[in-house]
Amino acid sequence: MENRNFFRALFWALLVFLLWSMIAQRIWPARPPAGPGSSPAGAPGEVTPSETTTAGGTGSENAAAGEGVRKLAARGGAPAQTLQLGDVSAAEESPFRMQVWLSSVGASVETLRLSDHQQIAADPERYRLLSPVEHGGERWRSFAMERVLVDGVRVDMKDVAWRAEQVALDDGQAVVFQTEIVNGDEAVLALEQRYVLLRQPAETGRHDIELYTTVRNLSQDAHDVQLVTLGPFGVTSEGRFIQDQKVFAAVREDGVIALQAETFADVAKKNGLDLYPRTVNEVSPLAWYGTGNVYFTATICPVAREGVADAVPIKNLRGFDLDGKKDSHDDVSVRAVTDTLRLATGAERKLHTLIYAGPKDRDVFEDARNADYLSLDFMQQIKQGYGSCTFNFLTDLMIGLLNWLERVFHNFGVAIICLVLIVRVLLHPITKKTQVNMVRVQQRMAKLHPKIEEIKRRCGNDTMKVNQETMKLYREEGVNPMSQGLSCLPMFLQMPIWVALYSSLSNNVAMRCHGFVSWINDLTVPDALYTFSSPLTVPIFGWKIEAFHLLPLLVGFTMFAQQKLMPKPTHQAAADSPQAQQAEQMQKIMPYMSLVMILIFYNFPSGLNLYIMTSSLIGAAEQLYIRKHISQQDLEGPPAAARAAQPKRSGPSLLEWIQKRAEEAQKLPSQRDQGKRRR
């Protein structure tokens, strides 16, 4: 009875656990963060005057040293302006890979659109990577200079309108923002932010913005200066059922890039996260940081421009959430604080930042022409999203093979079907051998069933004796019952491939907005045969269904059909064996399993569902072929006498080795009991 009900009990236990987890989340939701805000006062990423250390002492000490320092302020009065760099009107044919709208408020980026990518498959509008965020009546923009600390005194800059000027270059465009920090009527510091966008043909794959920051001392005294800048805003989620928006920081450790990435949800839940604390930069410099989703990234690289500018010396980096609510993720970004810049009278520092704002394209990141991308190891951003249940080389192989097949057939759906054929052909010998072997063993064990029953009757309750005699009978008849477990081998071999394919769909921007046929217009998202006017909510669980997806239903049906076509014993005796009865139980729960598969795969990318459905269809046809082959073969093999005349192995078989170990394990308790009695 236990053998008959094992799979049924396992299925119901998993289903109950899944249902209870969903109900519990609805009844006892997670506690929200303690309060809104980016970070508490004094947190490592939030530099305040009281905690800022300068060459002359703490910020409060420097402020107390002279009343004049207390009057520092940014010079305002300039009209707010919005200026444009680049153009996306010609889409991929544009000489610029993006269109950037810059705001003179905070010397920041208002919005950024990409030339090469659509917002969604059915809409030709260019992809919006960055956009401002509204919170608390304020407008937060990307890359804004939030504040400057002069000798420990904070000067707010985020809402200051800088003077702006458009500059034409031979190979691109530039916008220059300028302002001053003054003490009354006396100018103390001059600040300049220069954004440069060069013409970059599509074949290069580069999506760069050059940012030059200049700080010049205009006063008669030396000053210690720190800059606090904001990261990207407005990066939206590309995932349908996973949290793919992340903040990240990469440090260089012994010449190797080590990446730390945290989801927006984790940043909001923990009310801010330190990504690069001040204790790290002494030995591991920050290589790059920023925010991104599964397909796109806004990466900030504080790199030096030889002979022109220095790299931005980052001291602290912290992820923060504006409203502190874990359910709103579009207001998460990062805040960077520089090391102290010591400026003598009349001295200036020019700092260089490279901003990559574009797709996570492996062909671009691994192109030998982009030596800086290779040196910075941008590929870490793609590999960081690979699944843990597969191998990185397998995911790389899947992505490379899919992209190659697409170049041949000009359709990623056809490429996926071809990939299924390749995998199935490679696994067919194993599938055929395991299925034939399973039926052979079932038929042999069915013939041995009366003898096994006789052994049980003769040995009574002596379990060890029954096992020894049964294993002896198996050896004499040349039967290995454990070989039936190998029937699942093809499925287990395909599991890493499925995970690798899912990783390739989730990390291959080349497939985004590429469809197959008809309603499947984007293989990286679920197929929507019909979109509901308003989402349907599943009672109790709170699931929201926005559209009717057909492929998951076909996946469940084809998996059920494939299981129904599994080879079955042809003899009645074989059908009465315990193994056949267990297989019968599996057949009974398959409808329920198919329903669970539909629920699991309902919001999966249509490309993955297409792969699994095609694999199941080809597998069903393969099962029919194997059944025909089995009906034409003598699976019982030679008689026992002929098998006994075959040459013996030099060593014990696997079955004999397992039996020996089992007998030794069973003897250990009795030996311990005898030892205790002697003591």
**Torsion sign (Cα): 637, 640, 645, 650:** positive
Q: How confident is the model at residue 214 (pLDDT cuts 50, 70, 90)?
A: very high
Residue 46 within any structural domain of the chain: no
Nearest to 219 by CA among 192, 181, 193: 181
Regarding whether 494 and 373 lie in a shared domain, the answer is no
Regarding whether 286 and 302 lie in a shared domain, the answer is yes
Regarding whether 184 and 161 lie in a shared domain, the answer is yes
Comparison of pLDDT for 667 and 642, the residue scoring more: 667
What is the SS3 string spanning 385-422? CCCCCCCHHHHHHHHHHHHHHHHHHCCHHHHHHHHHHH
Domain that holds residue 442: 392-639
Q: What is the pLDDT of residue 660?
A: 58
Regarding whether 417 and 348 lie in a shared domain, the answer is no
Q: Decide the pairing of beta strands 348-359 and 310-311.
A: parallel
Last residue of a domain, one of 383, 404, 424: 383
Regarding whether 653 and 628 lie in a shared domain, the answer is no
Quickly list DSSP for 100-147: EEEETBTTEEEEEEEEEEEEETTEEEEEEEE--EEETTEEE-BT-EEE
Residue 659 near residue 464 (C-beta atoms within 8 A): no
Last residue of a domain, one of 359, 383, 407: 383
Regarding whether 472 and 594 lie in a shared domain, the answer is yes
Residue 23 within any structural domain of the chain: no
Per-residue tokens: 300: 């900030």
Regarding whether 611 and 537 lie in a shared domain, the answer is yes
Comparison of pLDDT for 458 and 280, the residue scoring more: 458
Burial tier of 260 (Cβ tally within 10 Å: 0-12, 13-18, 19+): middle
Q: What is the C-alpha separation between 239 and 62, in angstroms, rounded?
A: 49
CATH number at 89 reads 2.70.98.90
Residue 228 near residue 117 (C-beta atoms within 8 A): no
Query: What pLDDT, in 10s, does the model give residues 102-121?
Result: 999 999 999 999 999 998 88
Q: What is the pLDDT of residue 31?
A: 41
Residue 118 within any structural domain of the chain: yes
Q: What is the pLDDT of residue 50?
A: 37
Nearest to 5 by CA among 589, 609, 653, 616: 589
Regarding whether 435 and 328 lie in a shared domain, the answer is no
Query: What pLDDT, in 10s, does the model give residues 29-85?
Result: 444 333 333 333 333 344 443 333 333 333 333 333 344 445 889 987 788 999 999
Question: Residue 487 above 70 pLDDT?
Answer: no
Residue 36 within any structural domain of the chain: no
Residue 34 within any structural domain of the chain: no
Per-residue tokens: 292: 């991104």
Regarding whether 187 and 320 lie in a shared domain, the answer is yes
Per-residue tokens: 173: 């465009």
Burial 177-201 (b: 16+ CB within 10 A, else e): bbbbbbbeeeebbbbbbbbbbbebe
Q: How confident is the model at residue 225 (pLDDT cuts 50, 70, 90)?
A: very high
Mean pLDDT score across all residues of the chain: 78
Q: What is the C-alpha separation between 214 and 173, in angstroms, rounded?
A: 19
Residue 239 within any structural domain of the chain: yes
Kindly report the backbone phi and psi dihedral angles of residue 602, in degrees, each rounded to the nearest multiple of 5, phi listed first: -60, -40
Query: What pLDDT, in 10s, does the model give residues 15-25?
Result: 555 555 555 44
Residue 67 near residue 172 (C-beta atoms within 8 A): no
Regarding whether 434 and 356 lie in a shared domain, the answer is no
**Torsion sign (Cα): 497, 498, 501, 506:** negative
Residue 135 CA, distance from chain mean position: 28
Comparison of pLDDT for 577 and 431, the residue scoring more: 431
Residue 48 within any structural domain of the chain: no
Residue 103 near residue 80 (C-beta atoms within 8 A): yes
> Residue 34 contacts by C-beta under 8 Å, 6 or more apart in sequence?
271, 324
Regarding whether 474 and 434 lie in a shared domain, the answer is yes
Average pLDDT on 591-602 reads 80
Residue 543 within any structural domain of the chain: yes
Q: What is the C-alpha separation between 29 and 478, in angstroms, rounded?
A: 58
Of the candidate ranges 195-204, 390-399, 422-431, the one whose mean pLDDT is the lowest: 390-399
223 vs 56, 150, 160, 189, CA distance in Å? Answer: 10, 7, 22, 9
Q: What percent of the chain has pLDDT over 90?
A: 36
Residue 53 near residue 224 (C-beta atoms within 8 A): no
Query: What pLDDT, in 10s, does the model give residues 160-175?
Result: 999 999 999 999 999 9
Q: What is the C-alpha separation between 622 and 628, in angstroms, rounded?
A: 10
Per-residue tokens: 54: 């300068």
Nearest to 385 by CA among 230, 216, 500: 500
Regarding whether 453 and 599 lie in a shared domain, the answer is yes
What is the SS3 string spanning 572-629? HHHHCCHHHHHHHHHHHHHHHHHHHHHHHHCCCCHHHHHHHHHHHHHHHHHHHHHHHH
Residue 278 near residue 285 (C-beta atoms within 8 A): no
- Domains held by the chain: number: 3
Q: What is the C-alpha separation between 608 and 488, in angstroms, rounded?
A: 21
Q: What is the pLDDT of residue 45?
A: 41
Last residue of a domain, one of 320, 353, 383: 383
